[in-house]
Structure 1
Amino acid sequence: AGGRGGGGGRCPAGPARWRPAAGAWSIVEIVCHLADEEVEDFRARLRSTLEDPARVWAPIDPEGAARERGYQGRDVGAAMDGFARERAASVAWLRSLRGAEWGRAYAHPTLGTISAASLLASWSVHDALHLRQIAKRLYEMTLRDAGDASVAYAGGWSDV
């Protein structure tokens, strides 16, 4: 994702800010969340678990961060670039790990024991869930803009 190749498939600013309902995140908010989670959640918490599983994780508040950091007003292209940059740093860090003890585990106060391996797998699933959320926003925008046109030929959202 990002500013390569004439736009890299970016979503224009208007559609990127659209919310289907009050309290739902727009595409730009989702992308900003992914960039922040890359730094403040998954990479930091996995590193902490591998280095010292007893170290208490810094608290995070994704909903609060979206409001306080003004995700909705940010540039979607810059947000995508930020995520791509942080993901590259995460991949480089993960590739540098040698002899990591993936069984090391953090005692989460509400979720229980979370191993480093489970945290890594959860990182990937978190991405997939938000990619699905972005795809759903695009689907919802198409339905909104289709007017009287039928989208039945494409199949239903629940079919995928």
Structure 2
Amino acid sequence: MKFELNKAIPVLEKTPLVIRTLLRDLPLEWILENEGKDTWSPFDVIGHLIHGEKTDWMVRTELILEDGTPKTFQPFDRFAQFENSKDKNLEDLFDEFEELRKNNLTSLKSKNLTSKDLDRIGVHPELGEVTLAQLLSAWVVHDLGHIAQISRVMAKQYKSEVGPWPKYLTILNHIPKE
């Protein structure tokens, strides 16, 4: 499917509600458990998404849309959530994510982006030149990937409880990268 902003925005709009609906009112074990050493819990993932709302997607969009030569993005701290989420509870994170996402999408929509804008270039510190359409596509896929990650982490909490079914439950067979 070719990137179209009007098809991407509904996914981005739904992400906070999907995550809140999946996790709200669950026992803490579902929220705080991970897949092992150097992996993230659902709580960590929400903190990561919040950090992205503050420092990644719209910051980079603004940089791409600035006049002049393509500018290099600041590196993204993929682990900032561990410090930033300290002393916060799940409801605080839900609320913060929801508000930041709402504000970012309001800002994005207000830009009335054209196809020419979507072809504009920024420079990723590792990947090199990227278009705005690629950045915005990555935002959607990033959300979907983390929704899948949250589901996978939760499913693995019962891996030893499902008896002989793991060969049919593919979500249990993913091995996290070290």
Among all aligned residue pairs of Structure 1 and Structure 2, give the percentage whose two residues are the same amino acid: 24
Alignment of structure 1 residues 136-151 onto 2, 5 Å: 136-144=152-160, 146=161, 149-150=162-163
Partner of 1:15: 30
Distance, in Å, in 2 between the alignment partners of 1:109 and 1:60 is 9
Contact 1:13 1:75 in 2 (8 A): no
The offset of 1:23, in angstroms, is: 0.6
Partner of 1:114: 130
| Residue 52 (structure 2) pairs with residue 31 (structure 1) | no
TM-score normalised to the size of structure 1?
Answer: 0.79
Alignment of structure 1 residues 39-54 onto 2, 5 Å: 39-52=54-67, 54=70
Counterpart residue type for residue 36 of structure 1: H
Which secondary structure state, in structure 2, belongs to the residue aligned with residue 114 of structure 1? strand
Partner of 1:126: 142
Gaps spanning 5+ residues in structure 1: where? none
Distance, in Å, in 2 between the alignment partners of 1:44 and 1:151 is 47
The offset of 1:72, in angstroms, is: 6.2
Q: CA RMSD in A?
A: 2.7
Which secondary structure state, in structure 1, belongs to the residue aligned with residue 155 of structure 2? helix
Partner of 1:86: 100
The offset of 1:80, in angstroms, is: 1.6
1:122 to 1:78, Cα distance in 2 relative to 1, 3 A: same
The offset of 1:150, in angstroms, is: 3.5
Q: How many residues align?
A: 151
Which secondary structure state, in structure 1, belongs to the residue aligned with residue 76 of structure 2? coil
TM-score normalised to the size of structure 2?
Answer: 0.72
| Residue 83 (structure 2) pairs with residue 68 (structure 1) | yes
Partner of 1:156: 169
